Structure 1
């Protein structure tokens, strides 16, 4: 396991009795510290996004409630504190390597009423050894800070590797596949409706033509009947009566 910054272990030890939750933050250059988000996030868009946008993507393993263990020996407690700090630092190193740039990481501890108990930063450059970040205070108990609404509850982070990042990437791909599936289903339904309409159109046209022909036939028949039935009674010079029907 990678050795964490010694100060991280010391601060966890010093403030554990009043520690409520722990958070890992990061930054590059002189920008402000931000929550740790999936490596697949759109960092260019997030650069100008609000704090809430960052917090909505924050990884659970980097912001969690701190749970104490009762009845452990001093050596067991020390091992637990070192293990928690090591997992956070190991994750920090992998995150910086994935971004392929120098990053500053800050371990921040909160007490009751979201009081900031401590802040400790460490820098990691994928091509060099880590050094202490400049400008970080060792402790800032009275520092005003508004934490995200409803922090993620959890125990001391489990063993990591790239599991959390890979899981988030799989989730995003799953959402993309589901969207493609739905769009495909909608397209297929539209194609099916169009085919059904195309198949029915000749039948409808033929039926309409037959109705029109029948109507024309009936009108023609009525016209013939009218022409045949129309006659004028006449008498010839001999007095015979006969009819003259108008024929077409």
Structure 2
């Protein structure tokens, strides 16, 4: 595989120079095309800031971001914005309460001219099928949907633009355990069926273990360890990684299989 995303020596700080807080500190990370990478760490470790920098929502003070081998400037062009999509923790805050699910998806398709005008309605139906939502959801507004349904709509909206990179930022943390499992299965299925490259930002180590090939552990804005999921979880080399694994809550009978 070749690297779709290359983050090189990126540093991101906030605040004035004398009182600046460094949220991401000299981070280098390569994400291979078609892979699934999990980024874990405590709150404030820099996970989300790093991905927001990839999307162009934060500006780095140092370093570079390359996508498909091309260095990205301060502004992302339309094609790049389409190719990199994020699914957020709380879909209720990103879905327009006045719009039906169908009109939300149709707007994305029309504005970005993803399909010809005469194909928009059919493509909306295909997107709902893709995320396993029933056809009648098309006429519903967000307040009528469950948390899991809202998250599936948010995923469908991201997929409407046919991205190469899908970033899930704590995308299941607001859901109950059973609904989480359904969304995880969906993400795994979408990766297999569409070939989309997946980055999961999560506190949930079981999620990363189940869904991802590579785990990246961040602390205080730095990557302290990264490697294949099975190897990293079996034999972490950094004490902080070992602490995270040891501190992860485990229910009776909880194993990797239970996440499935």
Structure 2-normalised TM-score? 0.21
* Structure with the bigger percentage of strand: 2
* Structure with the bigger percentage of helix: 1
Structure 1-normalised TM-score? 0.22
